Structure 1
Amino acid sequence: MERCKKTMKTYTSALIQRARDMRTNMTEPEKRMWYDCLKHLPFRFRRQRPFGPYIVDFYCPGLKLVVEIDGDIHTTADGIAYDAERTAFLEGLGLRVIRFSNREVMENLEGVFDRLQQEIILTSAPN
């Protein structure tokens, strides 16, 4: 097991390798989000970042913001239950989770970008 200093949660070396493989083989919606959206925001995002037993699609350490791109599997009963458990875990680490569907990214990237900008304003605003 390896230790993640920022979250103080453990994850396995196998998970690190899986995250590397996922960065190399991103889905089309992930590529679009990464190259056409996240790279144009004023905060640095990381791709396929392990947190505990999970790998998040995108993570911004400066905002403690997780961005997830959900495919059709996420609309099944099992997918919804898994996502709820995963989101609860991530929120328990003090992270904010925002989700977009593959369809939103592929058909309305401008709307996704606008929503991300609003999230950044909300997340980075002083309390």
Structure 2
Amino acid sequence: MPNVPRPTRDLARTLRRQMTLPEVMLWQHLRGSPAGLRFRRQHPVGRYVLDFYCSSRALAVEVDGYVHQLAAQTSHDEVRDAWLADQGVTIMRIPATDVLRDVDAVVGAVLATARSLSVR
């Protein structure tokens, strides 16, 4: 993985303190290493901060709120996702509404996706 610039590390620390409700809900399930998979929250990679990251499977889980539906954000997300894919990271995008509606189903999908990826 590429070096992380100091401003990105600082941003990650700030984002850990300012997580959205869907992020908090998902983190409550992922923080205990479910199924033996360790997740980090607001994890910096390069110049980006990932909502959740499982390093053993190189899986990024992004909880997308309404702003990710806007054209400008969509194009930014595409560039970001392409860069992460070049680094070997698989990106899983989950609408925030799905987390709010059924967090258990979302956790199940995240764990199934992680288990389907090769161990790094």
2:21 match: 28
Note if 1:46 corresponds to 2:40.
Answer: yes
Aligned residue number for residue 65 of structure 1: 59
Which has the higher relative contact order, 1 or 2, with Cα contacts under 8 A spaced 6 or more apart? 2
Query: Residue by residue, what CA displacement relative to the aligned partner does 1:31-82 show, whole Å, maximum 9, x if unpaired?
Result: 00101x2135221111111111111111111111100001101001111111
| Alignment partner, residue 76 of structure 1 | 70
Task: Please list every run of 5 or more consecutive structure 1 residues that lacks an aligned counterpart in the other structure.
Answer: 1-6
Determine which of 97, 102, 110 is the counterpart of 2:96.
102
Partner of 1:85 in structure 2?
Answer: 79
Q: How far apart, CA to CA, are the structure 2 residues paired with 1:48 and 1:13?
A: 14
1:4 corresponding residue in structure 2: none
Gaps of at least 5 residues in structure 2 are none
| Cα drift, residue 117 of structure 1 | 2.3
The equivalent of 2:114 in structure 1 is: 120
Match of residue 17, structure 1, among 10, 33, 36: 10
CA distance in 2, matches of 1:57, 1:118: 18
Q: TM-score with structure 1 length normalisation?
A: 0.85
Structure 1 position 91, deviation (Å): 0.6
CA distance in structure 1 between the aligned counterparts of 2:51 and 2:95, rounded to whole angstroms = 12
CA distance in 2, matches of 1:70, 1:96: 16
Structure showing greater Rg:
1
Displacement over 2 Å in runs of 4+: none
- How far did residue 103 of structure 1 move? 0.3
TM-score, structure 2 length as denominator?
0.90
Task: State the 1:124 CA deviation.
Answer: 3.8
